[in-house]
Amino acid sequence: MAFLRSLLPYFTFAAGYLVVAMLVENSYYQLIITLVLVWASFGLSWNMLSGYTGLISFGHASFFGLGAFATVLAQIHLGWSPWIMLPVSALIGALAGVLIGLPTFRLRGHYFALSMLAYPLAMSYVFQWLGKPEITIPRVLDHPALFLQFEDRRVYSVLALLLLTVIVVITRWIERTRFGMSLVAIKQNEAAAEAAGVDTLRWKLKAIAVSGAIAGAVGSFYAVVILVITPSSVFGMLVSAQALTVAMFGGVGTVWGPIIGATVLIPIAETLHAVIGSYLPGIQGVIYGLAIIILIIAAPEGVFWKGVDLIRRRRVPAAGTVPSGAGGVSRAASVEPAGGASPASRISDRIMLDVRGVSKRFGGLRAVRNVSFQVRKGEILGIIGPNGAGKTTLFNLLNGFQKPDQGQVLLHGSDLAGCRPHFACRAGIGRTFQVMRPFKRWSVANNVKVGAYVRAASEEEARAIAREAVAQVGLSAISDRPASALTTKQLRLLELARAIAGRPEILLLDETLAGLGSEEAKEVVAVIRTLAATGLTILIIEHTMQAMVQLVDRFIVLDHGQLLTEGLPEAIVKDPRVIEAYLGAKWAAHA
């Protein structure tokens, strides 16, 4: 029900659009009305992959062009109706998506974007070489409707609107489920998503398959509407650019972006072309280009997000200046004495994690050398050492970001060394990062929900787990607030909540106190302690010795990748070898 209600604005738009489309008699304007919908749909296809995962594709013309050529060629050579080819083109698009995605997803950032550009251009030349410089859909005289040919051009607008509606519903549905959430998690931080149990490659392949399917179908429909296609008109760079222009102009990562973008830009471009193109060829390109330049400088993230930000700013006059620590945190802090149960009662004798002789080298650098240690259930283990001692690398070996060259990581006796991070997460190892990258526009609750998917079978369950995790770190009072409005301390707590939403047995905390003042650090320490009281085993990397000495049960000290020593906090802070590693030999003599 809530899903349908969320589509209400769209249906209002669609109804209004339909009325306008029905009133237009002129066939040229009717074509513009159809094309707006076609490009909006294509923009949504692009948005499905690039808007949600953040992997910018310059190559969506591949899928579009394949759909268009398949449809026209099938009618010419096989006599197949476009009605059949519409779904077939979607299949072709999905298949092409997976085939292109498999090798290309190895690349990131600019490399991905530019590689995607190469596919449609290569295809374009191949089709040209095959002797298809220009092909036309043959006119059908008997039962033209069976071949998607209509005298009344308004029919095309209605069909395009149906196509768009299907795509909008699919997009909205994906947006609201773990599919969409996982994609956005990949966008905000692929590493963190993997660590939170998201199988990133699988979701990316699914996204490009859906995206390719939509683009294939849209390309197929476009060919039917436009009748004549050439390799450059369906595979060309301007086709791919059209998808990203409408989506980025309107706003990326929302179903509304491409619709707004197409509704504004396509009529402007086409009208300019029709009205002044004949007097001064090219002037429409200049005006269109100028319009894009001016708008993107005024609203760099697109019209939709600009609007959202304006409205939000009006509603919450000073979101950023709301006093920090509102609500729950102080409560969590006050629970501290009860939560800080004596270590003896908290720690059991059971060995939780048994690290045996792990090593990792990067070229000549031996980042981790033959490190072994054990962690008991419920224990809080501090990992200290100077910069470059191999602390973060050790964490990477424990949760699967890197594969150790030697050694074992035994969790409950089974070896996790070298398995992928999302698998380690499922096995019970959660983790936070030095660098925080929450999804800024999402609420606290939704940010945490991503972490819960690995344990939850349904949306409901994920929401419940997330709610519980948010309460555990004391952020319940602000769980609806967007992450962009949080303080550093609240963001650290948010990361903690996301990690515990995966219901880990072992939590790896990488410099969770970095950037916090001493009062704030105390509050976060209090929260960590309450988590430990629930039986969670915690490994923490930290530089702030003061906070650490109060928090941990035991330290291990790393230096130059080797385990220097381990022991109780009181012993460690007095150990001359530790002081030497941190401050140099001169100071060790004073200690």
Identity of the residue, 162 or 274, whose beta carbon is nearer to other proteins in the bound complex: 274
Binder of other proteins out of 28, 129, 202, 518 (CB under 8 A): 129
Quickly list DSSP for 308-360.
Answer: HHHHHHHHSTTGGGSPTTTTHHHHHHHHHHHHS--HHHH--SSEEEEEEEEEE
Distance, first Cα to last Cα, the chain? 68
At 562, list the tokens: 């080797």
Binding mask 366-395 for other proteins (x = CB under 8 A): --------------------------x---
Binder of other proteins out of 106, 350, 574, 577 (CB under 8 A): 106
Residues 421-450 that bind other proteins (CB under 8 A): 433, 440
Is residue 108 at the binding interface for other proteins, with CB under 8 A as the rule? yes
Binder of other proteins out of 46, 52, 156, 249 (CB under 8 A): 249
Is residue 73 at the binding interface for other proteins, with CB under 8 A as the rule? no
Q: Can you tell me the distance from the alpha carbon of 586 to that of 591, in angstroms, rounded to the nearest whole number?
A: 9
- Contact between 27 and 274 under an 8 Å Cβ cutoff? The reply is no
Backbone φ and ψ of 327, nearest 5°: 70, -120
Binding mask 53-72 for other proteins (x = CB under 8 A): -x-x----------------
Binding mask 262-291 for other proteins (x = CB under 8 A): ------------------xxxxxxx-xxxx
Q: Can you tell me the distance from the alpha carbon of 240 to that of 407, in angstroms, rounded to the nearest whole number?
A: 48
Is residue 89 at the binding interface for other proteins, with CB under 8 A as the rule? no
Is residue 122 at the binding interface for other proteins, with CB under 8 A as the rule? yes
Is residue 104 at the binding interface for other proteins, with CB under 8 A as the rule? yes
Shortest distance, position 500 Cβ to other proteins, whole Å: 20
Region binding other proteins by CB under 8 A among candidate stretches 105-113, 156-164, 199-207, 222-230: 105-113
Q: Can you tell me the distance from the alpha carbon of 135 to that of 279, in angstroms, rounded to the nearest whole number?
A: 29
- Contact between 251 and 49 under an 8 Å Cβ cutoff? The reply is no
Is residue 118 at the binding interface for other proteins, with CB under 8 A as the rule? yes
Shortest distance, position 10 Cβ to other proteins, whole Å: 23
Identity of the residue, 126 or 274, whose beta carbon is nearer to other proteins in the bound complex: 126
Is residue 103 at the binding interface for other proteins, with CB under 8 A as the rule? yes
Interface with other proteins (CB under 8 A), residue total: 55
Identity of the residue, 103 or 323, whose beta carbon is nearer to other proteins in the bound complex: 103
Shortest distance, position 277 Cβ to other proteins, whole Å: 10
Q: Can you tell me the distance from the alpha carbon of 194 to that of 430, in angstroms, rounded to the nearest whole number?
A: 10
Q: Can you tell me the distance from the alpha carbon of 189 to that of 195, in angstroms, rounded to the nearest whole number?
A: 10
Identity of the residue, 30 or 47, whose beta carbon is nearer to other proteins in the bound complex: 47
Q: Can you tell me the distance from the alpha carbon of 270 to that of 258, in angstroms, rounded to the nearest whole number?
A: 17
Binding mask 158-197 for other proteins (x = CB under 8 A): -----------------------------x---x------
Shortest distance, position 247 Cβ to other proteins, whole Å: 9
Binding mask 213-242 for other proteins (x = CB under 8 A): ------------------------x---x-
- Contact between 434 and 508 under an 8 Å Cβ cutoff? The reply is no
Binder of other proteins out of 22, 76, 114, 227 (CB under 8 A): 114
Identity of the residue, 29 or 401, whose beta carbon is nearer to other proteins in the bound complex: 401
**Residues 294, 300, 305, CA angle at the centre, nearest 5°?**
120
Residues 502-541 that bind other proteins (CB under 8 A): none
Shortest distance, position 294 Cβ to other proteins, whole Å: 8
Is residue 293 at the binding interface for other proteins, with CB under 8 A as the rule? yes
The strand pairing partners of 355, in sequence order, are 373, 409
Shortest distance, position 118 Cβ to other proteins, whole Å: 4
Please say whether the dihedral angle defined by the alpha carbons of residues 240, 241, 242 and 244, taken in this order, is positive or negative: positive
- Contact between 249 and 306 under an 8 Å Cβ cutoff? The reply is no
Identity of the residue, 2 or 297, whose beta carbon is nearer to other proteins in the bound complex: 297
Q: Can you tell me the distance from the alpha carbon of 400 to that of 421, in angstroms, rounded to the nearest whole number?
A: 5
Binder of other proteins out of 245, 432, 446, 490 (CB under 8 A): 245
Is residue 296 at the binding interface for other proteins, with CB under 8 A as the rule? yes
Binder of other proteins out of 5, 77, 110, 143 (CB under 8 A): 110
Please say whether the dihedral angle defined by the alpha carbons of residues 73, 125, 225 and 162, taken in this order, is positive or negative: positive
- Contact between 532 and 524 under an 8 Å Cβ cutoff? The reply is no
Region binding other proteins by CB under 8 A among candidate stretches 109-117, 163-171, 461-469, 532-540: 109-117
Q: Can you tell me the distance from the alpha carbon of 435 to that of 302, in angstroms, rounded to the nearest whole number?
A: 27
Query: In 371-476, which ranges are continuous DSSP H helix?
Result: 391-399, 421-427, 444-452, 459-472
- Contact between 194 and 422 under an 8 Å Cβ cutoff? The reply is yes
- Within 10 angstroms of residue 580's Cβ, the number of other Cβ atoms is 17
Q: Can you tell me the distance from the alpha carbon of 332 to that of 15, in angstroms, rounded to the nearest whole number?
A: 50
The strand pairing partners of 443, in sequence order, are 482
Is residue 117 at the binding interface for other proteins, with CB under 8 A as the rule? yes
Q: What is the dihedral of CA 293, 295, 297, 299, to 10 degrees?
A: -150
Identity of the residue, 64 or 249, whose beta carbon is nearer to other proteins in the bound complex: 249
Identity of the residue, 253 or 474, whose beta carbon is nearer to other proteins in the bound complex: 253
Binding mask 301-320 for other proteins (x = CB under 8 A): xx--x---------------
Shortest distance, position 214 Cβ to other proteins, whole Å: 20
Q: Parallel, antiparallel, or unpaired: how do β-strands 351-362 and 365-376 relate? A: antiparallel
Q: Can you tell me the distance from the alpha carbon of 347 to that of 535, in angstroms, rounded to the nearest whole number?
A: 8
- Within 10 angstroms of residue 434's Cβ, the number of other Cβ atoms is 12
Is residue 403 at the binding interface for other proteins, with CB under 8 A as the rule? no
Q: Can you tell me the distance from the alpha carbon of 115 to that of 137, in angstroms, rounded to the nearest whole number?
A: 32
Which residues form the interface with other proteins (CB under 8 A)? 54, 56, 103-104, 106-108, 110-111, 113-115, 117-119, 121-122, 125-126, 128-129, 187, 191, 237, 241, 244-245, 248-249, 252-253, 280-286, 288-293, 296-297, 300-302, 305, 392, 396, 401, 433, 440
